[in-house]
Amino acid sequence: MRSLLTATFLLTAAPALAGVSEVIDDHALPGTARFASATAALGAAAQADCTDTALRPAYQESFDAWMGIAHLTLGPLEEDGRGLAIAFWPDTRGMVGRSVMRLVAEEDPIATSGEYAEVSIAARGLFALERLLYDDDFAGYEAESYRCALVRAMAADLAELGREVDTAWREDFAATLRSAGEAGNSRFLSPREAAQALYTALATGLEFVADQRLGRPMGSFDAPKPQVAEARRSGRSLRNVALSLEALQNFARTLSDQPTPETDAAFDRALTAARALEDPIFAGVADPLGRIRVEALQNDVRAVLETVDEEIAPALGVTVGFNSADGD
């Protein structure tokens, strides 16, 4: 697994910048609104019927909506650890499972305290809830059980996180991006800095798909790790890759104010490969032929990263330097 992108931006002579407002209006705000709506519906559904089978459709919709904004790691998702509270993954130490197990074993009263945000961050969000809804060790609970109360608390916490992210974008961060370079804006001292931050999110999001969503289950040829695939319990590993690529393609199109035919073509190739894979939880990486197909998809995603660096970065007046190393 390669580390996440470390980017150093250099200013160029290219003028800055359209695209920031388009990202806000056509990508970020619609995405945060959908996530807020989906998680609110999840919270309401949990109150109505918190059993696993009843709640799974609303859970899947919330995760779909999360894939539309998970790459927007700047601003509201960065602040107060919201991004990790929503999606604690990769979970390299198995903290989610242990945290949920402790709560269930001890029947921690936090589930009914109204202060669920005070628990360990690994016991919050989509992956903690996934354990209760899909893991055989936790699912199948009765409607009046402690686990049912815990599900309700987790869903309410996610709804609050969704509301906070959407509100922070609409009432604060969107204006901060738009006013880059204006007096009083200490976050972005120029329009180019705002574009740089958004481009970082785009490039980092693509590398996350290649190195984490695909690279982690691939492991090595001699030691594949399909068991660590993202959201495998809920059957979403490949779906998350495809939805992430769709969202990142939309992000790239709104960020660039010029035609990007090479980037569009690279995204289309990667999406075509993802949709044809037919390996929903990357179980096939344990087989040499299956691994080759996932590796080919990974290469397609990395090709997208190269094209955005060559086609979009110059148009924005930035260049990005990669400093990634292999590792576990």
CA distances from residue 121 to 46, 85, 226 in whole angstroms, order as listed: 20, 5, 24
**pTM over cut 0.75:** yes
| pLDDT tens track for 13-70 | 334 456 999 999 999 999 999 999 999 999 999 999 999 999 999 999 999 999 999 9
Position 144 scores a pLDDT of 92
Q: What average pLDDT score do residues 151-176 get? A: 98
* pLDDT > 90: percent of the chain: 90
* pLDDT > 70: percent of the chain: 91
Q: What average pLDDT score do residues 200-204 get? A: 96
The span from the first CA to the last CA of the chain, in angstroms, equals: 5
Give the residue among 162, 164, 170 at the shortest CA–CA distance from 25: 170
| Greater pLDDT, 162 or 7 | 162
DSSP H helical segments within the chain, as ranges?
20-23, 29-48, 52-67, 82-86, 95-106, 125-134, 146-168, 174-178, 191-208, 215-218, 237-255, 261-275, 288-316
Predicted confidence band of residue 4 (pLDDT cuts 50, 70, 90): very low
Position 231 scores a pLDDT of 98
Q: What average pLDDT score do residues 135-158 get? A: 97
Position 317 scores a pLDDT of 85
Q: How far apart are CA 148 and CA 143, in angstroms?
A: 6
pLDDT reading at 284 higher than 90: yes
pLDDT reading at 273 higher than 80: yes
Position 320 scores a pLDDT of 60
Token readout for 95 is: 């903290």
Q: Is 94 exposed, middle or buried (0-12, 13-18, 19+ CB in 10 A)?
A: exposed
Position 257 scores a pLDDT of 84
- Does residue 326 sit in helix, strand or coil? strand
Position 319 scores a pLDDT of 63
